[in-house]
Structure 1
């Protein structure tokens, strides 16, 4: 298993990038340092010029990999959801009990992120913060329908569908499995944001995490318990 994971590559849709950043040392540095910079100054203030200064490379070299900072954010978002999907597969495949499997899946999509040493050039903790703070900017655009048709969000939708299927396995009569799945995934990001910035309007604090809340929500909605 360790050897298998050491060769693991998160496959981001090819239309998002001009050149695969995983194919070169410079590309990996672009990804590594873009995560640091976006987390530091925010996506709105982020530019390729600033990234170029940080990595000691010409701005034009970054455009050889991404045609815009929007495409770079799409790449980071897609990579993140691919990483979540790989965790869902690895950590739930041996769980036979459907309720336990759903609870584990909810934990995976809602828990506090830890660094994964499998991907040395990506700080998953900082990337998780970017997804919490900036992910909606990847799809709240006028181009979202066309980008959706071109498959830019296919990995994110796969994650939702995996969780949807686990919900249906627990309660096949529940009418809204996709809505519940997407609510858990998006809601967990929102609850982490509220916990960091608007503590007075969330119950998700140190003693009660977003994972606790969404497992409770699923159990009450689908009428199950362990």
Structure 2
């Protein structure tokens, strides 16, 4: 699927819009590759500067620190995933089918050419799987929340929660289940590939089994809710 998508990002995420210059675009694209390769802890602006043949000072003109850059990358993913959800369920009228489509999207890797640009979305997906909880598990979470840095994530959870309520208006925990679904999809994917004894499908490493598990998790809850 080849789609050209322009994502508008929260201006609190950056000092200068990285999509406005060639250097900024290099910072975003190369940082995805480096963080996916070495992990967020070992990633530094110094290493990024060497990779894109610039200076650390040049990178700091766009992002105040590497955590804010990580928030930017993960937020980009959430924006894109919400677009995917809307695109895929737009012509579906049955609430159960809409939920099943969302679960399908959450249990597979993002398509590499999804947005029609040169971002490596497979690498970005791996970053979200391994690093996304570092975005909000910080002492600055309230301040960052006030700056609406997590709005795309919360909007996506709310949209999924609305689908659960549409399916069963009496279900009492739609938002809790929506956020659990998003996090569970990531944790189980990570466990499947790295800590297989924590899953029931680690041996085969089969995302079909992950998909089945997530469907059971969701529908056993929303069908039984009062």
Identify the TM-score tier after normalising by the shorter chain: over 0.9
**Cα distance change, pair 222–117 in 1 and its aligned pair in 2 (3 A):** closer
| Pairing partner for 2:51 from 44, 47, 54 | 54
Give TM-score, length-normalised by structure 2: 0.93
Contact 2:107 2:207 in 1 (8 A): no
Q: Which moved more, 1:149-158 or 1:108-117?
A: 108-117
**Cα distance change, pair 93–35 in 1 and its aligned pair in 2 (3 A):** same
Which ranges in structure 2 are unaligned for 5 or more consecutive residues? none
- The answer as to 2:26 corresponding to 1:25 is no
Q: How does 1:143-154 map to 2 (within 5 A)?
A: 143-154=140-151
For 2:107 and 2:157, how far apart are their aligned partners in 1?
13
Extract structure 1 runs of 4+ deviating beyond 6 A.
Answer: none
Contact 1:164 1:181 in 2 (8 A): yes
Give TM-score, length-normalised by structure 1: 0.93
Contact 2:100 2:215 in 1 (8 A): yes
Q: SS state of the match for residue 10, structure 1?
A: coil
Contact 1:29 1:121 in 2 (8 A): no
- The answer as to 2:114 corresponding to 1:112 is no
**Cα distance change, pair 40–14 in 1 and its aligned pair in 2 (3 A):** same
- Aligned position for 1:215: 215
Q: CA RMSD in A?
A: 1.6
Q: SS state of the match for residue 132, structure 2?
A: helix
**Cα distance change, pair 222–196 in 1 and its aligned pair in 2 (3 A):** same
- The answer as to 2:118 corresponding to 1:140 is no
1:210 deviation in Å?
Answer: 2.1
Which ranges in structure 1 are unaligned for 5 or more consecutive residues? none
1:120 deviation in Å?
Answer: 2.1
Give the paired residue count.
Answer: 221
